[in-house]
Chains A and B, each alone.
Chain A
């Protein structure tokens, strides 16, 4: 059990989790967006560490990553800023395996742990290849969050459910990150996860509006909102502007929970 497992099980007893995503280093003041999100009711914040070849990301987060790389954001610079900020909610870093592989698995895990990062999502690290990373990450109390896709057969969902730490990331659709018009296959994916494990299960990939959050919140433990927010930052929205949007997601999730 990592600290993230304990914290997210406690959270589940209280409310639906709202997990906004930001690209680390997208702007020089990117941590103020994180702070604003927490103020607006985020329970966990996902922070992207940019990679040159983000194969699981659509155009919005690709553009965010490209800009962050242009600002010379690195694993070390983002960890340093997270350590200084010392946010009170758990931070989960999302990055691609090469970033960790290149820095060194053990060294990455130690850096993330020492910077107060509670977990990581590595979308190109399937369970077959994940063991060496999981071992060093767990030793540093950094949870490895795994993804279940609509295409995952039940035997794989079971193995992923057994191994995922903190929460299970339920992909709502067969697609890369990006905005969408509904919650896709999320209900079926969450149900398959529920049938094999008791780990909190959050829905992501295409959660674009508070209505989507409300829909997904009705059958899951929380939602991840990425491209919808990153697009606004790319368009020039301030941290204050974003706080209003995130509040509306919070309200939608809390209303769903009360009605359930």
Chain B
């Protein structure tokens, strides 16, 4: 997984499709990120912050009972143990440090379920940046506790009332806001999406997952896993873990939600500054994604994933809502880890594929992207038949 071309293209995907008003900010960010990422001082600052504040390195855990049950050797990269409960912290620490380096004083972000919003508010508090988070009005109701978390962390949460009032509209609104304030404000995008350099930059900030995991697996005596499995909404945790194994023989599997399967059901299109695979109707109007997990409710996918799918380097599969809860229960009961609903999609695929697409005895690295605390109320009501 090398860098994109100068214009931010991964094959025919990616690029920069933004209003002229935002082009100077995108170009400035491109220069600033290249400069920072090549500067050992900045890189050290990023790793130090993740170590002292972010809980890195996260461990790799051998999932012994799940392995026995599935007839596989399953290792989990424990991003659920990172600060704020998911891999999101890796990206926001990188972008918040970069914001300060650029001399900007404020960050804005979009959020769906609230995970990226909480992570952004956390990094902003730590680094003394003002923070505004755009969240679809529908999601502010569904995830009221996360709104409160962000407010506790000193952020302002703006409910977005346009369009479908969910994640894609929150991205639109954050972009509209960025037009008005790019001079002193950085837009901290939450996944490997948006205009160049975001998809590349976010992947680089998340690649710490794959780099750590590759080294930790060697401590278990695993040189190369047969499979690397991660859930995919926009695709940042998958991009981060894939980055550590792209040059190996490992099969890379991205697991989408069936109702948000941009690779499975989407077609090429342009949205939120990038050319990628999108769910859209016959007239190019963007359709809404539907999933049990709000974090996978995005009608597109990062452009590099579209490219990896095109190349056949990674394979993207989809899992329906119906099997996700069972997978969450299985991991909880067998391993003492309650995964996020997003992560449970990757578990569900593995359970189903074990002994079939994933032959018995295979070694698997599962990216355990987040913990499920945020989802327990929803899971309870589903299991009680209340929704």
One of B17, B21, B22 near A97 (C-beta < 8 A): B17
Instruction: Find residues 53-97 in chain A having any chain B CB closer than 8 Å to their own CB.
Output: 53-56, 58-59, 62, 66, 69, 74-75, 96-97
Q: Does A11 contact B (CB under 8 A)?
A: no
Interface 1/0 per residue, B261-280 and A, CB below 8 Å = 00000011111110100101
Known contacts: A52-B163, A151-B182. The answer to whether A176 contacts B16 by CB under 8 A is: no
The answer to whether A62 touches B286, judged by C-beta atoms less than 8 angstroms apart, is: no
A139 on the B face (CB < 8 A): no
Tell whether B285 is near chain A: CB-to-CB under 8 Å.
yes
Residues of B within 8 A of A35 (CB): none
Using Cβ atoms and an 8 Å threshold, which residues of chain A touch B273?
124
Interface residues on A, range: 35 or more
CB distance from B278 to the nearest CB of A (A): 8
Q: Which residues of A from 76 to 120 have beta carbons under 8 Å from B?
A: 96-99, 101-103
CB-CB under 8 A from B176, the residues of chain A are 55-56, 58, 176
Hey, which chain A residues are within 8 Å of B172, CB to CB?
53-55
B260 at the interface (CB under 8 A from A): no
A98, B271: Cβ atoms closer than 8 Å? yes
Interface centre among B275, B283, B285 (most CB of A within 10 A): B283
A53 touches B180 (CB 8 A): no
> Looking at chain B, what size class is its interface with the partner chain?
35 or more
Closest to A175 in B: B180
Contact with B along A157-174 (1 / 0, CB 8 A): 000100000000001001
Q: Does A187 contact B (CB under 8 A)?
A: no
In the complex, the chain A residue whose C-beta lies closest to that of B286 is A52
| Cβ contact within 8 Å between B162 and A59 | yes
Q: Bound state CA distance, A129 and B22, in angstroms?
A: 14
Q: Does chain A have a CB within 8 A of B119?
A: no
Cβ-neighbour of A66 out of B15, B163, B270 (below 8 A): B163
Q: Which residue of chain B lies nearest to A96 when distances are taken between CB atoms in the complex?
A: B270
CB distance from B109 to the nearest CB of A (A): 16
Q: Mark A202-224, 1 if CB is under 8 A from B, else 0.
A: 00000000000000000000000
CA of A151 to CA of B183, assembled, Å: 9
Q: Is the interface of B mostly helix, strand, loop or mixed?
A: mixed
Bound form: Cα–Cα A260–B21 in Å: 30
Q: A53-B168, A98-B271, A174-B182 are in contact. Are A152 and B283 (CB under 8 A)?
A: no
Q: Which residues of the other chain, A, contact B20 by a CB distance below 8 angstroms? A: 123, 126-127, 146-149, 151-152, 156, 160, 171
Question: Which residues of the other chain, B, contact A236 by a CB distance below 8 angstroms?
Answer: none
Nearest Cβ on chain B to A177's Cβ, whole angstroms: 10
Tell yes or no: B32 within 8 A of A by CB.
Answer: no
Contact A149 B280 (CB under 8 A): no
Residues of chain A lying within 8 A (CB to CB) of residue B22: 151
- Kindly identify which residue among A66, A146, A152 contacts B24, using a CB–CB cutoff of 8 Å: A152
State whether the Cβ of A21 lies closer than 8 Å to any Cβ in chain B. Answer: no
* B162 proximity list for chain A (CB < 8 A): 59, 62
B359 within 8 A of A: no
The residues of A that contact B21 with a CB separation of less than 8 Å are 147, 149-152, 171, 174
B: residues with CB less than 8 A from A are: 7, 15-25, 162-163, 168-169, 172, 175-176, 179-183, 267-273, 275, 278, 280, 283-286
**A–B Cβ pairs within 8 angstroms, 29 of them:** A52-B163, A52-B286, A53-B286, A55-B18, A55-B176, A56-B19, A58-B176, A59-B162, A75-B283, A98-B269, A98-B284, A101-B270, A102-B267, A102-B269, A102-B280, A124-B18, A126-B19, A128-B7, A128-B16, A129-B7, A129-B15, A147-B20, A149-B20, A151-B24, A151-B25, A152-B23, A160-B20, A174-B180, A175-B179
